[in-house]
Amino acid sequence: MPAAREAAFAAIAAHLASQLPGVTVERNRRAIIAPDEPLPIVVLRDGGHEAADDDSAQLVRYSVECVVEGFVADTDARIGAALNDLHARCIAALCNRPVPMGDDALWLHERGTEVEIAEAGDSAVPAARFVATLSFDLLSPFAGGPFL
């Protein structure tokens, strides 16, 4: 059985991929997006966690973060709309609705989003990306934490 964190991130990635037809979804990609790669691309990155105060001696509630990065290319006139559309699709797929995880479900919430549209000198084609930080709660046995 995978660690609780791993199971959660794998479930989020699988759900995101199933909800975004026509979009390449990757997890923890380290390579830079190449100019000739077909877009859109969404990258899910594992984030950190913080233990929340809980009176239970059996379980610990962790607030866990993940980052969703979306990359698009389009004309100058459409780049903003393309980026906003991809962002909206990602948030609709993940937030304020259950994300299946085995016999349970995760509930994700958006914490914030940054947007970057490439300057003309930075890219031969109009390109843009968003970086959305999401969080969810994860219950884990007291001994071992979310890595077990």
- From first to last of its 148 residues, the chain has per-residue pLDDT tens of 678 889 999 999 999 999 999 999 999 999 988 888 999 999 999 999 998 766 666 778 889 999 999 999 999 899 999 999 999 999 999 998 999 998 889 999 999 999 999 876 676 677 999 999 999 998 877 655 665 5
The class that CATH gives domain 4-139 is alpha beta
Cα 100 to Cα 15: distance, rounded to the nearest angstrom:
7
Cα 81 to Cα 69: distance, rounded to the nearest angstrom:
16
Q: Which residues contact 66 (CB under 8 A, 6 or more apart)?
A: 9, 12, 44, 45, 46, 47, 108, 133, 134, 135, 136
The predicted pLDDT at position 123 comes to 67
Q: Which residues contact 5 (CB under 8 A, 6 or more apart)?
A: 46, 49, 64, 138, 146, 147
Cα 2 to Cα 42: distance, rounded to the nearest angstrom:
24
pTM greater than 0.95 (yes/no): no
Cα 139 to Cα 23: distance, rounded to the nearest angstrom:
31
The predicted pLDDT at position 144 comes to 57
